[in-house]
């Protein structure tokens, strides 16, 4: 969603102020001669267009202008939340379905900005599968990771549509070529992001597919924030100015990606040349209107969304202990909106 001129101005003010503030980093000097603050961002997966605003801001020097020496790394063993909580990464990209269980287990991570306000997940099947709605999954095979969240989501979708979830077979397939597996008949349907894997199938592979979008069934399952930026509770308390600078530059990057998706795709490909140009360009265009909701600034999160998903996660057996949803996120570090 397009940002206003006031938002850009506010972001610039925060960035400028943060660049001049004291910091505890020891990175390279900025143009002003002040040492830049080192900041490590751990991605949740390999680089993709969910990370578009980060790469736009990086390529255009906006983190440098914010006084930040940003280092982007891919996730390692243990996952993003643990890395952020332990200080091995300053900021990470995670998902609500991992943030809440982490907090239930005593991992002090907090969502500081939502990349997408609406969950872009869907169940994808081949166009000739006969699957157009949840109850069509009866008698079919779902390929996934075998997690409790998957089981609960698909069960509720089918039941809500008047179907019998016991007639769906589930097999574990992990991270594979989904199209190849469906073509072989190993499974009929998988869980994907519409703006990446589903778009790869249609825009790049030229295949006809069918999708059951989660956002079309929020009367049966909750919306939730996926993906999100996370930081540790200690970083929020002790380095709030640095995190505000990071989010101000990042918000500017996502605003530019929304306004100029073609240029944003070029920025991404300059940073990640091994990515598929056709997919990146199609996906950048797809997400341009989805990075923020109408009349809602980029990154802003709602307590109602976290609360409803927290109840769902607890009922699905994902939480080892109760979690206060109001402590799982904060909007306090986002740039002010106009």
* pLDDT given for residue 81 in this prediction: 97
Backbone angles phi, psi at 202, to 5 degrees: -85, -55
231 SS3 class: strand
The set of residues, in sequence order, having a beta carbon less than 8 Å from that of 78 and lying 6+ positions away, is none
* pLDDT given for residue 332 in this prediction: 98
Cα–Cα distance, 315 to 21 (Å, whole number):
45
pTM given for the model: 0.89
The CATH 3.40.190.10 domain(s) of the chain lie at 5-117+225-327, 121-217
The set of residues, in sequence order, having a beta carbon less than 8 Å from that of 294 and lying 6+ positions away, is 1
Q: What is the pLDDT along the chain (338 residues), one digit of tens a residue?
A: 322 332 323 333 333 333 333 334 445 545 555 689 999 999 999 999 999 999 999 999 999 999 999 999 999 888 999 999 999 999 999 999 999 999 999 999 999 999 999 999 999 999 999 999 999 999 999 999 889 999 999 999 999 999 999 999 999 987 778 899 999 999 999 999 999 999 999 999 999 999 999 999 999 999 999 999 999 999 999 999 999 999 999 999 999 999 999 999 999 999 999 999 999 999 999 999 999 988 899 999 999 999 999 999 999 999 999 999 999 999 999 999 76
- Matching CATH number, 121-217, of 3.40.190.10, 3.30.56.10, 2.60.40.10, 3.30.2350.10: 3.40.190.10
* pLDDT given for residue 30 in this prediction: 53
- Matching CATH number, 5-117+225-327, of 3.40.50.300, 3.40.190.10, 3.30.1360.120, 3.60.15.10: 3.40.190.10
The set of residues, in sequence order, having a beta carbon less than 8 Å from that of 251 and lying 6+ positions away, is 3, 7, 11, 53, 113, 297, 298, 299, 334, 335
Among residues 309, 338, 297, the alpha carbon closest in space to that of 113 is found at 297
* pLDDT given for residue 177 in this prediction: 84
282: left (phi over 0), alpha (psi -120 to 50) or beta: alpha
């Amino acid at each position: 969603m397009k940002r206003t001129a006031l938002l850009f101005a506010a972001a610039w003010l925060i960035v400028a102020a943060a660049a001049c503030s004291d910091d505890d980093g020891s990175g390279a000097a900025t143009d002003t001669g002040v040492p830049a603050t080192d900041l490590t961002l751990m991605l949740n997966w390999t680089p993709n267009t969910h990370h578009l605003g980060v790469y736009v801001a990086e390529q255009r020097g906006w983190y440098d202008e914010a006084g930040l020496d940003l280092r982007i790394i891919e996730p390692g063993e243990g996952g993003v939340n643990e890395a952020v909580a332990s200080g091995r990464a300053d900021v990470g990209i995670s998902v609500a379905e991992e943030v809440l269980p982490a907090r239930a287990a005593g991992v002090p991570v907090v969502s500081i900005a939502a990349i997408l306000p609406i969950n872009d997940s869907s169940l994808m099947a081949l166009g000739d599968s006969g699957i157009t709605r949840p109850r069509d999954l009866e008698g079919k095979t779902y390929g996934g990771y075998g997690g409790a969240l998957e089981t609960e989501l698909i069960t509720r979708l089918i039941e809500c549509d008047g179907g019998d979830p016991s007639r769906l077979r589930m097999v574990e397939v992990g991270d594979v070529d989904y199209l190849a597996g469906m073509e072989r008949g190993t499974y009929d349907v998988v869980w994907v992001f519409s703006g990446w894997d589903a778009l790869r199938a249609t825009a790049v592979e030229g295949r006809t597919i069918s999708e059951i979008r989660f956002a079309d069934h929020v009367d049966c399952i909750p919306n939730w924030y996926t993906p999100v930026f996370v930081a540790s509770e200690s970083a929020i308390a002790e380095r709030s100015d640095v995190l505000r600078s990071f989010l101000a530059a990042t918000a500017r990057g996502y605003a530019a990606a929304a306004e100029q998706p073609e240029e944003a795709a070029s920025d991404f490909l300059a940073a990640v040349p091994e990515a598929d140009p056709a997919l990146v360009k199609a996906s950048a265009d797809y997400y341009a209107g989805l990075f923020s909701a109408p009349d809602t600034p980029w990154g802003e999160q709602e307590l109602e969304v976290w609360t409803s998903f927290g109840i769902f996660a607890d009922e699905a057996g994902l939480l080892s202990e109760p979690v206060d949803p109001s402590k799982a996120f904060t909007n306090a570090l986002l740039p002010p909106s106009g």
